[in-house]
Amino acid sequence: MNEIVKDLTTDDTVTTLVERQRTFFRSGSTRELGFRKEQLKRLRNAITRGEADIIEAVRQDLGRPTSEIWTTEIGIVLAEIKHALRHLSSWARPKRVGTPLLLQPGSSRIEYEPLGTVLIIAPWNYPFLLAVAPLVAALAAGNTAIIKPSEQAPHTSAALAKVIGGVFEREQVAVVEGGVEETQALLEQRFDHILFTGGGGIGRIVMAAAAKHLTPVTLELGGKSPCIVEKDADLDRAARRIAWGKFLNAGQTCVAPDYLLVHSSVKQPLTERIVKAIEKSFGKDPKASKDYSRIINAQHFKRLTGLIGNGPVITGGESDEEARYIAPTLIDNVGWDDAIMADEIFGPILPVIAYDDLDEAMEKIESRDKPLALYFFSKDRTLQAKVTERLSAGGITVNDTMAQFINLQLPFGGVGASGMGAYHGKAGFDTFSHAKPVVTRSTWPDPSVKYPPYRTPLAILKWVTRRSM
Ligand code: NAD
């Protein structure tokens, strides 16, 4: 295949596009490990070549600073590619497993085969990362893929189509741009797997459409991720790390701390330190800071500014509709039943709830939907173990935010309402592979005991089965 491919057209219908991808998959090329590695390298080269375009596109969509775009959108994808290239041979190698006496002489192994043609539906908040990181996993596992970027980040969607279209034949990897109509047209097709990242509402639509074809889904959803700060926590570190995790991309991060649960004895010193950390990062006027992002669109701006009236503002609260700017905001004395605690905030507003008893705070968390992320700040190892063992969440970081997302040795995904399935590193390879069990038996011996007519007394059968399975 040529390095530069000319086919940038989208004149094929989604039906013919999927059919072309299936035909290509059946050619068997993607099964070869050498081919897969080559595709990953081509993707890496294309991203490196298109870096300036990608950065500019994300900047236009979300007003984000260059260094942040590079690290969170491009850097993580390049790390995924490097990790996959380093480990792919070992991930894909058939694994020998034991064979019970009953099946001897014989051998058993697990072979990893690609699923076929997969669909990746991406959201707008990290519009490059969340489209391309799943693609890395899909290619590593030997699939063909169609990516549907979010129409709400149109510049990145176009940049993605250009970067991918520049190196891949559409029968191998294709970007289908568009909104609801295009996504629904894609969802009518039969795919071998769908990885969807977005909200739970659309996740349900995707899952229902997939059910018609019995297509397995990975749903990377969101939710209200709690951030608990105990009285013994290192408050300086906690404040800095919480402010970073919350206000990165103006809070439009699926694993951002959604609300702060702080022991009442340290609420004031902690919030004072968070205010200072905000000022240190973005200055006295975050609007003038080159390092502070904007809200994606007018609709989300309206939704978010509507949440600010929920309680006394500790800091922030200012907004500018035209600039889609909302200041980093902390809201005090929030109650569990307040409107701001109903849905994921997905913006730069941090409600503060004080607690006196950690067990009660944990009970409150347990009574709600399982979150995508959970953060706990404390130096006490017994308390750390208590929280990580008892509370369920897609992932947990102790004494920092977002670290569970960054370590490619860890599977990333939700649980319960925050999603199903996982990717990143090997988990991504596994998601897009079928672990196929293969048993090879010797042709000899072939005792007649297993065949009808059954003449062996049951007691003997039981004895043999118990000892040989
Ligand atoms: P969304 O659910 O609105 O949209 C995601 C995708 O679905 C887009 O590509 C969009 O075109 C498509 N879509 C929209 N309406 C559709 C419909 N009716 N039928 C079919 N497809 C449709 O999500 P969003 O607003 O882009 O992202 C925000 C949500 O995503 C938040 O809840 C956030 O927590 C979650 N999220 C999760 C992760 C994760 O990795 N778990 C990452 C980022 C965002």
* Nearest atom in ligand 1 to 124's CA: 26
With residues binned 3-state (H G I as helix, E B as strand, rest as coil), the percentages for the chain, rounded to 5, are 45, 15, 35
Structure token pair of residue 317: 């609260």
Closest approach atom of ligand 1 to CA 121: 9
Contact 118, 210 (CB under 8 A): no
Q: What is the Cα–Cα distance from 449 to 457, expressed in whole angstroms?
A: 10
Specify the ligand 1 atom closest to the Cα of 254: 34
Q: What is the pLDDT of residues 232-271, one digit of tens each?
A: 999 999 999 999 999 999 999 999 999 999 999 999 999 9
Nearest to 261 by CA among 395, 369, 374, 342: 374
CATH superfamily to which 11-221+420-433 belongs: Aldehyde Dehydrogenase; Chain A, domain 1 (3.40.605.10)
Q: How far is the CA of 122 from the centre of ligand 1 (A)?
A: 7
Which residue has a Cα nearest atom 32 of ligand 1? 199
Residue owning the nearest CA to atom 22 of ligand 1 = 180
Atom of ligand 1 nearest to the CA of 203: 2
Ligand 1: lining residues by beta carbon, under 6 Å:
121-125, 130, 148, 150-152, 179-180, 183-184, 197-199, 202, 205, 220-222, 254, 344, 346, 372, 414, 419
Q: How many CB atoms lie within 10 A of CB 105?
A: 11
Expressed in angstroms and rounded, the spacing between residue 205 Cα and the centre of ligand 1 is 11
Q: Ligand 1 centroid vs 142 CA: distance in angstroms? A: 26
State the Cα–Cα distance between residues 447 and 441, nearest whole angstrom: 13
The span from the CA of 426 to the CA of 94, in Å, is 14
pTM: 0.95
DSSP per-residue codes, 216-285 = -EEEE-----EEEE-TTS-HHHHHHHHHHHHHGGGG--TTS--EEEEEGGGHHHHHHHHHHHHHHHH-S-
**Strands across the sheet with 329-331, in order?**
313-315, 329-331, 349-355, 259-263, 226-229, 373-377, 395-398
Q: Tell me which residue has its CA closest to atom 42 in ligand 1.
A: 254
pLDDT at residue 207, as a whole number: 98
Q: What is the pLDDT of residue 96?
A: 98
From residue 224, alpha-carbon distances to 346, 374, 459 in Å are: 9, 9, 57
Q: How far is CA 234 from CA 242, 255, 331, 380, 401, in A?
A: 12, 22, 22, 11, 14
- What is the secondary structure of 27-73 as a DSSP string? TTGGGSHHHHHHHHHHHHHHHHHTHHHHHHHHHHHH---HHHHIIII
Q: For residue 192, which of 42, 26, 43 has the smallest C-alpha distance? A: 26
Give distance in angstroms: CA of 123 to centre of ligand 1: 5
DSSP states along 394-429: SEEEESSSSHHHH-TTS-B---GGGEE--BSHHHHH
Which regions in the chain score pLDDT beneath 70? 1-12
Domain residue ranges of the chain, discontinuous segments joined by +: 11-221+420-433, 226-413
Mutation pick for ligand 1 pocket among 72, 254, 412, 424 (CB with most ligand atoms within 8 Å):
254
Which of these CATH numbers, 3.40.710.10, 3.60.15.10, 3.40.309.10, 3.30.70.330, describes 226-413?
A: 3.40.309.10
Residues with a known catalytic role: 220, 254
Q: In what order do the strands lie in the sheet with 106-114?
A: 95-97, 106-114, 433-441
Quick check: helix, strand or coil at residue 92? helix
Atom of ligand 1 nearest to the CA of 122: 9
Give me the pLDDT at residue 2, please: 33
For a ligand 1 pocket test, name from 129, 146, 183 the mutation site with the most ligand atoms within 8 angstroms of its C-beta: 183
For a mutational test of ligand 1's pocket, the pick from 125, 156, 217, i.e. the residue with the most ligand atoms closer than 8 A to its C-beta, is 125
What pLDDT shows up at residue 11? 53
Q: Which residues does 429 contact at the CB level (< 8 Å), separation at least 6?
A: 84, 88, 91, 92, 112, 137, 140, 141
